[in-house]
Structure 1
């Protein structure tokens, strides 16, 4: 395989924790009712459209029109977003820092709403350390679609075959591989360190 010259990190659940249940366990204490809300109202598919570039105002209007009885909690999804990302994964961040400090070319590629990413960068300064980032909500392209990987390659001058992508989602990993990248599934910092060494990257 081509030697790795570029390392690309996903962000959510790789560098920072994300879990909507954190605020909603207080807002909707009943577990079954809360799961129904996520399965039927503020669903994954509804939320991913904000990562694709849809505004929260439009997203809330559509969801409230379909589920008017849940209007307050629909608005609470954005209102309490900060509580959904309570902390960074310090071991993953330390690993990324070591890669950057050692001179490796590190960028980030993330499915993230544009406005919440601005908030995340204010809260987590290490997100400024890599050479750059592609944010799905800003470019209106999203993983695992091929075009966002091609966009990232063009934006940062990467050689796809010499690029290693790190993501916690199997479809996103498979999307990178289909775009000609090398990729590993993130399950924790210790496994990532092992994967990097297997790829010939000293950490």
Structure 2
């Protein structure tokens, strides 16, 4: 059986993909930051970074939630949990080379914490569905946030406090026994004082 791509490599690829999306969009647009672009721009960059990781795997964009759960063996009889939002789509799905889904990834850009928590609920709900049989093993939230200097905080301080608050809220939201592991890029600060950072939050039901 081929060796699986380490989870840490996937998490690092999410952070790098978000960061590269920012750099390239700023260059392409003549100075705009990536929060001004469609989130899909970031999603494609993350997908490309994951594809670069050595090892056998597949990545799909905008995969059906219902079909992903079915392919993973997590379908069950009865009323599904509303948090799973079965009619929706995952931003990205990471697949084993054998064709079974391994992880789901959601991307958020300049979003409120409440919006991110809805994706946390979805990921948890999906991972919990017949977890002993499902091939889905973890989820990742990829998050981009930027800020200009405020009256009471520098841009860097605002970005730091936003990401710290997000991680704190995610940890408070997950079920008992769920592991949350954040990875944060260095905070980039422009001469103007504007700042941004990329973050990936790994969610594993243990």
Does the TM-score normalized on the shorter chain lie above 0.5? no
Counting strand residues as a fraction of each chain, which structure ranks higher? 2
TM-score relative to the length of structure 2: 0.32
TM-score relative to the length of structure 1: 0.33
Q: With a CA cutoff of 8 Å and minimum separation of 6, indicate the structure with the bigger relative contact order.
A: 1
Counting helix residues as a fraction of each chain, which structure ranks higher? 1
